Amino acid sequence: MLNEQTMDKLHDMKLNGMADAFKEQLEQPDIHHLTFEERFGLLVDRHWTWKEDRRMKRLLRNAKLKINACIEDIDYRKPRGIDRSVVLRLSSCQWINSTQNIIITGPTGVGKTYLCCAFANKACREGFATLYKRAPRLFQEIAISRADGSYAKLMNKYAKTKLLIIDDFGLAPLTDSERRELLEVIEDRQGLSSTIIVSQVPIDKWHENIGDPTIADAILDRVIHNAHKFELEGDSMRKILLASGK
């Protein structure tokens, strides 16, 4: 009866991982060979692991990544301009701690979105709040927020997200409102957070794509100079996979 009460109290205190470990210890006849300190240490370790696992799942769920990609699963066999040593170095996520950015460019189908989602997945596993947005959807949400009065709340959300991914940037020239909103998002995050920008448009064409020279200069100055750049090339991975029957 005492053990059942202890289990109930652990659950009431949200110590579910510790409760599960305590239940397992009660079912192990040889557990009494361990000292109190050893058994208690096992309980604490189990709850810490349970809590970290829940946090990682929450971060991944909130990130809304387009692809379930992992750094460990990146295919380096096809020459696409992905340097394994650079990817491994960035997988430590120190670039996020240093509020640096990543820019991924290249033609359609070469794996740009997979690569950005792999970096985002690793960021979540390291405990960083992450958010994936396609550029058209980003601008649409901002426009809606202006109309319904939630603009400040939304911009604060973008600013506080430690890693923001903007995919499909530059599919069409930016409108006046879009380039101004993009500048606001980038400005709010400068020096505080990191951004991954993914685009089919080469970086040297971004100035023209953004439009207004003054705003373009301001955006590019805040994004490019402290960014790690991947310029992907080669055939579409989708075509290669279809041709191989996978």
- Condensed to tens digits (0 to 9), the pLDDT of residues 42-79 reads 777 776 776 777 887 898 899 999 999 999 999 888 87
**Rounded Cα gap, residues 149 and 76, in angstroms:** 46
Whether the Cβ atoms of residue 69 and residue 114 lie closer than 8 Å to each other: yes
Q: What's the mean pLDDT in 92-117?
A: 94
- What CA–CA distances, in Å, run from 141 to 2, 36, 59, 154, 178? 53, 55, 21, 8, 11
Residue range 202-237, pLDDT digits in tens: 999 999 999 889 999 999 999 998 999 999 987 665
Whether the Cβ atoms of residue 177 and residue 147 lie closer than 8 Å to each other: no
Residue range 141-190, pLDDT digits in tens: 999 999 999 999 999 999 999 999 999 999 889 999 999 999 999 999 99
pTM: 0.80
Give the ranges where the chain is alpha helix by DSSP (H).
2-12, 16-26, 36-63, 84-90, 94-97, 112-125, 135-148, 151-160, 176-189, 206-210, 213-223, 237-244
The amino acid at residue 28 is Q
Closest CA to 179 of 150, 151, 139: 139
